[in-house]
Amino acid sequence: MTREATRRGVLAGIAAVSATGIAARPLPAPRDPDLLPNVLIVDPGMPGAQARIDGWFAQQERAHFTDRRYAVLLKPGVHRLDINVGFFTQVAGLGLTPDAVTVAGHVHAEADWENGMALVNFWRSVENMAVRPPDRADRWAVSQAAPYRRMHLVGDLALDDGGWSSGGFMADCQVEGVVRSGTQQQWFTRSSQLGGWQGANWNMMFMGVAGAPPTSFPEPPYTTLPTVPVIREKPFLHIQSDGVWGVFVPALRRAATGVSWQGRQTGRSVSLDRFLVADPTTPIATINRALASGRHLLLTPGVYRLHEPIRVRRADTIVLGLGLATLLSEAGNAAMMIDDVPGVSLAGVLIDAGAQLSPVLLQVGPKGARGDHHANPMLLADVFFRVGGAAVGNVGTCLEINSHHVIGDHLWIWRADHGDREGSRVHVGWAESRGEHGLVVNGDHVTCYGLFVEHFQGWQTLWNGENGRTFFYQNELPYDPPSQHAWRADSDRGWAAYKVADHVRHHEAVGLGVYANFTADPSIVLASAIEVPDAPGVRISNVTTISLGGGKGTIAHPVNSAGSAARPGSVRQTLRRYRE
Whats the size of the chain, residue-wise?
580
Are 101 and 79 spatial neighbours (Cβ–Cβ below 8 Å)? Answer: yes
Asked about 508 being catalytic, the answer comes back as no
Angle in degrees, CA 125, 236, 238, rounded to 5:
115
Q: How far apart are CA 550 and CA 566, in angstroms?
A: 10
DSSP conformational letter for 75: P
Smallest Cα–Cα separation from 119: which of 89, 82, 156, 159? 159
* Per-residue CA distances from 307 to 298, 327, 328, 332 (Å): 19, 10, 9, 8
Q: With residue 290 as reference, give the H or E element that holds it.
A: helix 284-292
Q: Are strands 245-250 and 236-239 parallel, antiparallel or unpaired?
A: antiparallel
* 325 DSSP β-pair partners: 349
Q: What is the number of alpha carbons within 13 Å of residue 13 lying toward its C-beta?
A: 9
Q: How far apart are CA 458 and CA 75, in angstroms?
A: 46
Beta-carbon contacts of residue 498 (< 8 Å; ≥ 6 apart):
459, 460, 461, 463, 470, 473, 475, 509, 512, 514, 529, 530, 531
Q: How far apart are CA 393 and CA 332, in angstroms?
A: 10
Other Cβ atoms less than 10 A from the Cβ of 83: the count is: 25
Q: How far apart are CA 444 and CA 559, in angstroms?
A: 22
Are 317 and 293 spatial neighbours (Cβ–Cβ below 8 Å)? Answer: no
Q: What is the number of alpha carbons within 13 Å of residue 335 lying toward its C-beta?
A: 28
3-state secondary structure 462-488: EECCCCEEEEEEEEECCCCCCCHHHHC
**Cα 339 from chain centroid (whole Å):** 21
Are 543 and 504 spatial neighbours (Cβ–Cβ below 8 Å)? Answer: no
Q: How far apart are CA 142 and CA 122, in angstroms?
A: 6
Q: How far apart are CA 392 and CA 354, in angstroms?
A: 6
Looking at residue 296, its amino acid is H
> Which one from 476, 508, 531, 580 is the annotated catalytic residue?
476
Residues that are catalytic: 476
